[in-house]
Every structure is written in structure tokens, then in C-alpha cells.
Amino acid sequence: AKASGDRRKAAFFFTIGSLYIGRLTVNHAAQPVELFGMHCGLVSISFRELTARQIVDAVVEAGLDGIEWGGDIHAPHGDLTRAHELDAMTREAGLRVASYGSYYRAGFSESQGLQFERVLDSARALQAPTIRIWAGVGGSTEMDTATRAGIVEDSLRVARMAREQGLSVAFEYHRNTLTDTRASVSELLRETEAAGLECYWQPPVGWSRDERLASLRDLGAALANVHVFQWDAGGDRHPLADGADDWREYLDLANAARPRPDNQPRWALMEFVRDNTLVQFQRDAAVLRRLLANHGQSHGS
């Protein structure tokens, strides 16, 4: 592996505003460089079959900034020993923990045996600034009033718990939850605004580009991070380069969003690649980096 033992090196990116300056490889002992603008990383569940070390090495090789560790395989909810190991492994490689991708479903998980305290403890051990949760089970049009109210109530509860520990909570933007339509997302964020809930964004499968742009624009300052992938209407995966024009617009819009309430950086996090190969991941990562670099140059900042 490239990043191991005394030979481990840390990759950093110098930015001014959102202008990408370039990559500098430095010895591990050097201090991290403060980053500005939108960072880029990987969601670990993209490669559930790989070890955490393999994921860290791949992210370093790709020149990305950090990792969202998933709560199912690599960072199981409540396994604090593992979370501390991942925190150390990530930071020793010169990367950041972007967020904790939990599988806590508001309004449901507690009754199924997953206490949010376990999720929160893992996030704290990882030093993750944001916890991703899911807005219930089932589509918004199928949800009765009482079930929706329970999801909102639980979302407020867990967000306040996290905020007491200095962490934020953000919903996954996903079908078969209360974030499956623009109207439902907007209503949910209004209902949970008091606790500072945010929302991820990803391009909903089957929506037009204009619909996707509108849904991203709706989020405004409530936008937490973006999951980056290139799928067609049937859910088949393609190289990110195939959707570069669309992604340029999405990332421009995300970069133009008002700052997050706590001034945390936003992340563009790669999630799933064609054929689940590291070769495709490296190619897609290069595309993502170019898109973010071109964003900075085109805006002259």
C-alpha cells in the first residue's frame, strides 16, 4: 500500500476561496493546510468489500480530501474501538473524516433496537462533524400524519442530542423516505429547522436535469453535503465523465449556496462507481477534482 509505516505521506490541496491551486505531497509530520470551499471525498460504502486500510490508501492515491465512514460495515454503530481506529487511520493519512454515514431511521430505529446514543458515540469517536440519518421508512405520499409526526419528533430529538455534543445531523436525500419529493423535503426542513437539521443532496434517479437543479436550489443553506455518482434513469452506473456537464452545474450551484449555519465546509462525496472497481474510482476522482478546479477558475475566486 502507498500509505503505510514510516513512508506514509499526506496529500493536501491549497485553495484560495474556491480556487484549486494544486496538490502538494508532504511528510506525515507536516501540519495540515487549512482548506476552504467545497472538499471532495469518498463514501466508504461505495466499496463495502474493501478493508478500511484499502479505502484510505485509495482515497490518498486519488488525491481526495476525506472519507464519509459508513455505519454498516466499516464503522458499525456503537463499536467505539473501531471508530477510534478509523479516526486515527484517516488522520494519519492526511485525510479528514467528512461525516458519519449512519443507518439510523428517524421514527423507526429506536423501536428496532438501534439507539441514537450508539450512533452519536461512534460519530464522536470518529470526530465526524456531521451524522447522516434517514427520514423514516416509506415514501412521503404513503405516510400517514401520525407516522410523519413521529419522524419529525425523533429527528428534532436526535439533532438536539447531537448539537449538545457539537455535531450536526443531516437527512439522506433518498426515495422511499420523507426526502423523496421537493415538497416533502421543504416541509420536513421547515418542521425541523429549530434543531438545525440539514440535508444531503444527490441527483434523484429518473428526474430531469432541471428538476434536479431545482431540488438542489431548494435546500439553500440547509445543504450539508453532496453524494456524487452518475446513474441513468434505469439505475445503471456510468463513468462520471459522461455526466460532467450536468455535474458542473450541480457543483456550481452547491458552491453558490449560502454558508452552512455552523460554517462547516461542504463535501462532494463520491458514492458508487461503475463495476465497483478502484480503476473507475480513480478516473471518476480525477473528473471530480477537475470539475471543482474549473469551478474556482471560472468564478475567479
Tens-digit pLDDT profile for residues 217-233: 999 999 999 999 999 99
**Three cell numbers written together for 294:** 474549473
Write down the pLDDT at residue 262: 76
Question: What confidence tier does 27 reach under pLDDT thresholds 50, 70, 90?
Answer: very low
How far apart CA 168 and CA 13 sit, in angstroms, is 25
Task: Report the mean per-residue pLDDT for the chain.
Answer: 88
Does 296 score more than 70 pLDDT?
Answer: no
Question: What confidence tier does 295 reach under pLDDT thresholds 50, 70, 90?
Answer: low
Percent of the chain surpassing pLDDT 70: 85
Question: What confidence tier does 298 reach under pLDDT thresholds 50, 70, 90?
Answer: very low
CA-nearest of 249, 252, 245, 262 to 299 is 252
Write down the pLDDT at residue 120: 98
Write down the pLDDT at residue 16: 30
Buried b (16+ CB within 10 A) or exposed e, 55-81: bbbbbbbbbbbbbbbbbeebbebbbee
CA-nearest of 255, 265, 282, 276 to 99 is 265
Does 19 score more than 90 pLDDT?
Answer: no
Does 114 score more than 80 pLDDT?
Answer: yes
